[in-house]
Amino acid sequence: MAELPTTARVVIIGGGAVGASSLYHLAKAGWTDCVLLEKNELTAGSTWHAAGNVPTFSSSWSIMNMQRYSATLYRDLGKLVDYPMNYHVTGSVRLGHSKERLREFKRVVGMGRYQGMDLDILAPDEMRSKYPFLETHDLTGALYDPYDGDIDPAQLTQALAKGARDMGAKVIRFCPVTAARRENDEWVLTTPQGEIRCEYVVNAAGYYAREVGKLFGRDVPMMVMSHQYMLFDTIPELEAWSKEAGHKLPLLRDVDSSYYLRQEKYGMNLGPYEKHCKAHWVTNDDPMPEDFSFQLFPDDLERLEWYLNDAVERVPILGTAGLSKMINGPIPYAPDGNPLIGPMPGVPNAFEACVFTFGICQAGGAGKVLAEWVTEGQTEWDMWSCDPRRYTSFASDQDYCVAKGMEIYGHEYAMHFPKHYWPAGRDRKLSPIHDRIKALGAQFKPYNGWERAMWYAKPGDDISEEATQTWDRKGPWSPRIEAECLAVRDAAGILDLPGFSRFRVKGPGATAWLSSIITGKVPKPGRIGLAYFADDKGRIVTEMSVMMLDEDFFFLITAATAQWHDLEWLRKLKPTDASFTIDDVTEAFSCQILSGPASRAILAEVTDADLTKPWLTHQSCQIAGKWLQLVRVSFAGELGWELHTKIEDTADIFDAVWAAGQKHGLQPFGMEALDCLRIEKGYRAWKGDLSTDYTVLQGGLDRFIDWSKDDFNGKAALLKEKQLGVSKRFVTLVVDAGDCDAPYMSTLWHDGAVVGETTSGNWGYRTGKSIALGMLRADLAGPGTQVEVEIFGDRFKATVQPDQPLWDPSNERLKA
């Protein structure tokens, strides 16, 4: 057995498919001084018993990217590393039972086509040509994915490990990591075979990730589910068909019934994600064992009976087969079901590649992404959907993780409708006026745990979950959202906005430092401005509002979900000898947005503040005897202010403004209306319109670049891009849409070619238009160009707008 080296550049903890792929990709990137430590044999965790399905389907752009990369890698991996590999590309048929499901499929077909994959929709009569044993009478259609397949997970892991070893990396088996300490800016890991020092460490410990995380002081947000599949004996009819056809059946996924059914030799494998699911190792009477290597849970057939019966009705030949074996194994879940890949929050030189529910099909892509994080500190694709920093400390609570994990598992194949707010794990962080706005009809959704009003229902409105099961713009919410938007346009609206992330930066040198890390100018004291943070490639890392209180004293305000991400970015760029401090004061403050032409009159009744101060200024003042910072900005694009208060004063200030506002027609409005309002102004949304998939120049943010500065993060790359010219450019489109506005990553077409993608879309109630923001090939980005946008499979005409807001283009209302 290989001996444990005393040092390595990177140590990966965990030898499942993901750990092995991480090692392989690090070695491929030239980082061969890397060691993988596995406490048992490779594959001892979830990997050995996985079914090995390798779908490319995902309704998430970045996860589809990862899975597509995996499928491509697996095709040639056996040859590439000279290791036997059972990888069958069988294709798959994903069944749809409803109009809405078919729309989901069509959207994925569009995304797939953009990524170079030829997915297709099958009509019910076409399905039987692919899958002759299928009952189709109650189906609306299917999605055909020719790239879907299955791989032997153990062979995959061994092949990746072999490839990595061949390049010089090391795998040490039977070597559990039992402790970790930081010494001289290095990690020292303890194992029964001795200690190893390393520069970077990666937690790839699968369902043991929480335990491994604790060694680094990190509480990984996750839980463990039991997941089963059933193997059936040979079915003579299937054997005869398969031999004659010369291939296997495509994998079948009945997503509305929630299972997959795969041909396994001449029998079948049925794997349900059952509603009445079971979490493990979450109660005192079911403790997590120290070691569960190569073990399974007891079979639990009862939970699967409904699914078996349903599958037999769908594919009657299954009813003739005997059940030969069951597999019931642990599968980890993060609260949103996506894995954790990226920097370990709050821990230096440490990364995570763990908590995979689909770690076989994602291992290839995940290894690529992880290796980029470690070797370059950034990734080719924007990977926010998998970034560990998308969760903050509230999400590590075990009850929360269990509630969310059970919800996701029980709805593994659910459609994620835009007006459906998942109910589990709610009310983690409540605004002090939560009950007040709830009484006004608020329908809530959490942002970094903070419950925010999305829209306000009136008595009698259908607020059931069933009503939200649609992609359509219209529903019980639409007349309410419209009324909220029009109240903001014609009178005033107030939106309670708890959880805005807020960092206080104070001390000598703070202003000069800020200037060196943002692309634009630092606002003067008393003013507020938007700042863009670019990486060394000029890509958009984040956007924050800079509220300048004094020289070397300011607040940076950013999206609720950006809290840990943005704080880490700032801390990473802070010089070690800096004399200024950066403090996260998010929990101490809150914010209410007051917007609309009557907002000045309302404020005049409750404060002595100077309400003639212009747009982009701020001032300290009092309302109801409480201090607040009154900030003259409006994301809604009307005359308006943000009221930044101490969190404990939220209610007093809200009550005073609310009472004063009644005679002025003040209405509460929610995040849905705010999104409709902001898109009419072309204001970008975090991690939709603003992401590392685009540079600051592509994002159309030229006016936020101060070229006269000596240097700033990303300047060299942006300067080069400016000289060469951008390849694609941010545009606002008005779409002749039907029932739905363009979702994120809808494909843009021109003359039959793919020419761009949307980054967000919504209906503008002030303009009466369907609006999309997006990225378009630069030569087409001029105003008036006609393109088409593909929305749920249909193409709609869209017109490029002039580079100015659709609503109030000269900002007269904003500056009134």
Binding site for ligand FAD (CB under 6 A): 13-19, 37-40, 44-47, 49-53, 176-177, 204-208, 212, 227-229, 293, 327, 329-331, 354, 356-361
Shortest distance in whole angstroms from residue 222 CB to ligand FAD: 11
Shortest distance in whole angstroms from residue 159 CB to ligand FAD: 14
Beta-carbon count within 10 A of 411 CB: 17
Alpha helices (H) in 467-526, listed in sequence order: 478-490, 510-517
For residue 52, give the nearest of 72, 69, 74, 36 by alpha carbon: 74
SS3 85: coil
Cα gap 323→195, rounded to integer Å: 48
DSSP E strands, 385-466:
442-447, 450-456
Question: Smaller CB distance to ligand FAD: residue 292 or 569?
Answer: 292
- Structural contact between residues 77 and 163, judged by C-beta atoms closer than 8 angstroms: yes
Beta-carbon count within 10 A of 660 CB: 18
Question: Smaller CB distance to ligand FAD: residue 7 or 193?
Answer: 193
CB burial of residue 575 (10 Å; 0-12, 13-18, 19+): exposed
Question: Smaller CB distance to ligand FAD: residue 386 or 630?
Answer: 386
Q: Rg (Cα) of the chain, in Å, rounded?
A: 27
Angstrom CA distances, 90 to 64, 75, 86, 128, 235, stand at: 18, 12, 12, 15, 18
Shortest distance in whole angstroms from residue 175 CB to ligand FAD: 7
For residue 517, give the nearest of 472, 557, 570 by alpha carbon: 570
Question: Smaller CB distance to ligand FAD: residue 93 or 748?
Answer: 93
Question: Smaller CB distance to ligand FAD: residue 14 or 493?
Answer: 14
Question: Smaller CB distance to ligand FAD: residue 304 or 780?
Answer: 304
Question: Smaller CB distance to ligand FAD: residue 370 or 548?
Answer: 370
- Structural contact between residues 428 and 394, judged by C-beta atoms closer than 8 angstroms: yes
- Structural contact between residues 119 and 108, judged by C-beta atoms closer than 8 angstroms: yes
Q: Walk across the sheet containing 149-151 and list its strands.
A: 53-54, 149-151, 87-89
Shortest distance in whole angstroms from residue 287 CB to ligand FAD: 16
Question: Smaller CB distance to ligand FAD: residue 69 or 763?
Answer: 69
Which residue carries 């300048």 as its tokens?
Answer: 548
Cα gap 238→221, rounded to integer Å: 43
Shortest distance in whole angstroms from residue 97 CB to ligand FAD: 23
- List the structure tokens of 519: 């692309």
Maximum pairwise Cα distance, the chain: 86
- Structural contact between residues 22 and 137, judged by C-beta atoms closer than 8 angstroms: no
Cα gap 94→56, rounded to integer Å: 12
The helices-and-strands tally (H runs, E runs) of the chain is 18, 39
Shortest distance in whole angstroms from residue 361 CB to ligand FAD: 4
Which DSSP letter does residue 539 get? B
Question: Smaller CB distance to ligand FAD: residue 360 or 628?
Answer: 360
Shortest distance in whole angstroms from residue 316 CB to ligand FAD: 24
Shortest distance in whole angstroms from residue 256 CB to ligand FAD: 19
Cα gap 265→697, rounded to integer Å: 53
Shortest distance in whole angstroms from residue 92 CB to ligand FAD: 12
Give CA 451 to chain center in angstroms. Answer: 18
Residue type, 471: W
Shortest distance in whole angstroms from residue 187 CB to ligand FAD: 14
Beta-carbon count within 10 A of 466 CB: 8
Residues with Cβ within 8 Å of residue 618, at least 6 apart in sequence:
526, 527, 528, 547, 629, 630, 631, 632
Shortest distance in whole angstroms from residue 293 CB to ligand FAD: 5
Shortest distance in whole angstroms from residue 215 CB to ligand FAD: 8
Shortest distance in whole angstroms from residue 569 CB to ligand FAD: 27
Question: Smaller CB distance to ligand FAD: residue 210 or 539?
Answer: 210
